[in-house]
Amino acid sequence: MPVVLCTIAALAMSADAPAKSSLSHAAAEPSPAAQVLALEEGVWDAEIEFPAAAPGAAPVRAHGVQTNAFVTGRGWIKNDFVVDANYGGHGTWGYDPRKGKYVGVWVDSNQDYLRIDEGSYDAATQTMTWTSELRQPEPYPPAAYRMVEQFRGDRRVLTMTAIGAKSGKEVPLGTITFTRRAAAASR
């Protein structure tokens, strides 16, 4: 009996849903949101620069590789990012039409929580701005986290900043310059 009730409830809820299935939507022309996500598709070499740890010291530099591939009918893109074998991160993002924003999740070897991001894309400047919450060690409150990514064809520049919860001061966290690798030739 519970299965029958669940089936009836599901049918009742779907009565108000649009007739077009998400599968038929995935086969259509890429949406404007998917076209924005496609700007990140591919394999990218990353040059990373973190601010100097002390006044007068040199910035810290690292190298990495980011691989971005579409999943789920080009509605979502997954990201795998490895830096000098010491850092690994993984994310998935796409566009949420109900929120009218890009949304994403991120986990990496430097944090012990699932970060949830929201973003907006400015087509005029070809810039994606992501915001999130950056947890701090106890007893400090979380900081606002902002990532601004500028797209320039086969080159992207991602600038990361934190905004202090109490001070409101913007603190640079680093810059990553991505260069897209040429697509492998067909065999």
Tell whether the model's pLDDT for residue 170 goes beyond 70.
Answer: yes
- Mean pLDDT confidence for 148-168: 94
Whether residue 106 contacts residue 97, with contact meaning beta carbons closer than 8 Å, is answered with no
pLDDT at 185: 56
Which long-range CB contacts under 8 A does 154-161 form with residues at least 24 apart? 154/179, 154/180, 155/179, 155/180, 156/39, 156/40, 156/44
- Which residue would you say has higher pLDDT here, 6 or 116? 116
- Taking the C-alpha atoms of 160, 164, 168 and 172 in order, what is their torsion angle to the nearest 10 degrees? -30
- Mean pLDDT confidence for 166-183: 93
pLDDT confidence of 86, banded at 50, 70, 90? Answer: confident
Rounded Cα distance between 120 and 100, Å, is 9
Domain boundaries, the chain: 32-180
Tell whether the model's pLDDT for residue 127 goes beyond 90.
Answer: yes
Q: Which residue, chain included where needed, has tokens 């996500």?
A: 37
- Mean pLDDT confidence for 95-108: 97
Count of CB atoms within 10 A of residue 37's CB?
22
Question: Which range is least confidently modeled, 5-9, 23-27, 110-114, 182-186?
Answer: 5-9
pLDDT at 26: 47
Answer CATH for 32-180 from 1.10.3210.10, 3.40.50.1100, 2.40.128.20, 2.40.110.10:
2.40.128.20
DSSP class of residue 73 equals: T
Cis status of the peptide bond prior to 139, with omega within 30 of 0: yes
pLDDT at 27: 53
Determine the length of the chain.
187
Tell whether the model's pLDDT for residue 7 goes beyond 80.
Answer: no
Where are the strands (E) in the chain, listed by range? Answer: 42-50, 60-71, 76-83, 87-96, 101-108, 115-122, 127-134, 143-152, 155-163, 170-180
- Mean pLDDT confidence for 106-132: 97
pLDDT at 48: 97
Rounded Cα distance between 91 and 78, Å, is 6
pLDDT confidence of 166, banded at 50, 70, 90? Answer: confident
Average pLDDT of the residues of the chain: 86
Cα angle 143, 146, 147 (rounded to 5 degrees) comes to 145
pLDDT confidence of 8, banded at 50, 70, 90? Answer: very low
